[in-house]
Structure 1
């Protein structure tokens, strides 16, 4: 994969960010402290550059029908300006990527893919459109679009202040909906009330050549609200606390949505509702739903201070291996180690006492229902 640069790379360097390679992109890992950036999002607001995410436009008379076939969600039922979390699966039921789809017009959808899977998703969408004979096209507009997120309890105030007209739009937006807004300086943005932190927040899709101006606008209007730039490290700890899966950790070609506890995103249609046609992986996923899975994704909370990391073994009271950790770290909000892990269904009941093998030492952990953190709770 070729190395790509966010249009905000110079801005991140000016701010002293630690820059790392992430899925072929040069991206900020942190600016100051992972924990400080994490707490800023939980208490005030954080500013994220997410320009590495893929923006794929699916358009044409059969765009909705094509996505119905290509994805596990019933996309043709989406209303205008709605957003929907969904997945693209293999015929064997494994997850190729998890996606957020926005309906920008009746024949225009924007599919947001993970950076590491963007090329795969483009190829699969095009192949499935061709296989089904749909009148639709896929355009990869990632390089032309920057994605900037404002996340946290003060996000709505900051984004509202950034608007020139339609200033009432951000507060009026419901969760997982979007709108076109005009920002100060005459800049247009497609703004969605979506995010990956467990907090209220907004994601602003803007032309790449306006990214620096929009970033500066957010900084200017967020200064008094406690807004701080945040890197990929704090984004990971925030999403883990919120129990949100990460592709390559909780999601993969070897796991179905049902194993990940996300079977709800697979829409087979209802006997009392609209018909749902065939989609890639339908038969396999229906069989998995009917038979259940041997392993399930659970949350683990540690009793000590040592965190279990991805790949660490999970064992029962007798020392027998019952699972594997997919993500883990010390939770800045809870003050305890937390992890997500796939464990045998027989050991997945909340309250079950297990342990993680942390470099040869068993660290006691208890199964809990996800998420670890829920805002307002």
Structure 2
């Protein structure tokens, strides 16, 4: 029996009432006070996430840019120091190895943030495809990651740092901020549909920073947030989860992520397939669905039209914000028009649904 991995924050979970589960080999909190309450906290106030299970990999060297250009779908050459980019690594057939963030620190130095369940696979992929003067360093074990998300995030973090975090633009970062007296790498990307920050910090300081952030956010109604609300938040904002909306069998174009695929930048792994799909369309398309009949669509539930299976649900739930039964489904593109009526098989019954616009939730403009 294999032992589940734990983040440096694990010793604090009990104090905050965490209910832990096995998440891809990690013992992580699915909830603290309840998914609905945590979801609402992030949408209206602020929430603090322990996402220290994510992987961090430093890539450096004279040929680091060329290496990352070959490996990722987005155009790394467009980055300026202090800027981050969402991207994907793909197989030659267009399937996804992983989706990731690429941070350009400056000179020939980059940091990649990868999914926890893919760390070993990604590292192997990086090393197999390495060419030239490139150094790859896995710093996941010594790096903890806390995410502070929600409309009150700026006000809370400002109490603990003099860094100009309020002026930080989306997908920009400060590599050497001091937060509550600890050195931290602070970025503004997010995975909830809300404003917020990611704080990369040495693992030895993670517990102290967690406590300081919760203390600073007391008057703003901050709550610790588990994986359950993390999933409903990202789902409402139509942000993909690897293993559901993305996989080795699903291309970025099928998943609706064509914006992050730049065939014109030059050669990269998977380019031929993805360029063709971007030009002519992929055979399948990820769409939003809303149930007409009573029932909640769940991951892998089959989707039908005229008793013919045309795809399956990738993620589905009752939206905590709107209380509607909605899902994302990867289906034959012929049935992807808005308003098209489909059927989702739930507990052996085919129940009516329709194709709807996504994202289900968009943050109100300030």
TM-score interval for Structure 1 and Structure 2 normalised by the shorter chain: over 0.9
CA distance in 2, matches of 1:314, 1:83: 36
CA distance in 2, matches of 1:263, 1:134: 29
Gaps of 5+ in 1: 270-275
CA distance in 2, matches of 1:254, 1:183: 41
Per the normalisation by structure 1, the TM-score is 0.94
CA distance in 2, matches of 1:93, 1:145: 31
- Map of 1:373 onto structure 2: 361
Match status 1:88 vs 2:76: no
CA distance in 2, matches of 1:323, 1:283: 25
CA distance in 2, matches of 1:267, 1:221: 42
- Map of 1:303 onto structure 2: 292
Match status 1:321 vs 2:309: yes
CA distance in 2, matches of 1:302, 1:96: 32
Q: Deviations over 1:63-107 (max 9, x none)?
A: 111101111111122111101000000011100100011111221
Question: Equivalent of 2:267, from 267, 272, 278?
Answer: 278
Match status 1:343 vs 2:338: no
Deviation at 1:360, TM superposition (A): 1.7
Q: Deviations over 1:245-291 (max 9, x none)?
A: 1110010111111100111111122xxxxxx3321111222222233
CA distance in 1, matches of 2:334, 2:71: 34
CA RMSD of superposed structures (Å): 1.3
Per the normalisation by structure 2, the TM-score is 0.96
1:138-217 correspondence runs (5 A) = 138-163=136-161, 165-166=162-163, 169-179=164-174, 180-184=176-180, 186-217=181-212
Count of residue pairs brought into register by the alignment:
363
CA distance in 1, matches of 2:335, 2:66: 41
Deviation at 1:364, TM superposition (A): 2.1
- Map of 1:290 onto structure 2: 279
Instruction: Tell whether the 8 Å contact from 1:304 to 1:336 is kept in structure 2 after alignment.
Output: no
CA distance in 2, matches of 1:25, 1:310: 21
SS in 2 for 1:354: strand
Match status 1:54 vs 2:37: no
Q: Deviations over 1:168-227 (max 9, x none)?
A: x1110001110131112x211101001111111111000000001110110111000010
SS in 2 for 1:143: coil
Deviation at 1:319, TM superposition (A): 2.8
Deviation at 1:305, TM superposition (A): 4.2
CA distance in 2, matches of 1:211, 1:243: 29
List structure 1 runs of 4+ shifted beyond 3 angstroms. Answer: none
CA distance in 2, matches of 1:355, 1:38: 28
Which deviates more from structure 2 when the two are superposed, residues 148-157 or residues 119-128?
Answer: 119-128
- Map of 1:137 onto structure 2: 135
CA distance in 2, matches of 1:116, 1:353: 35
CA distance in 2, matches of 1:203, 1:354: 39
CA distance in 2, matches of 1:335, 1:4: 34
Q: Deviations over 1:101-154 (max 9, x none)?
A: 11112211110000011111111112111xxx3211111100000000011111
Gaps of 5+ in 2: none
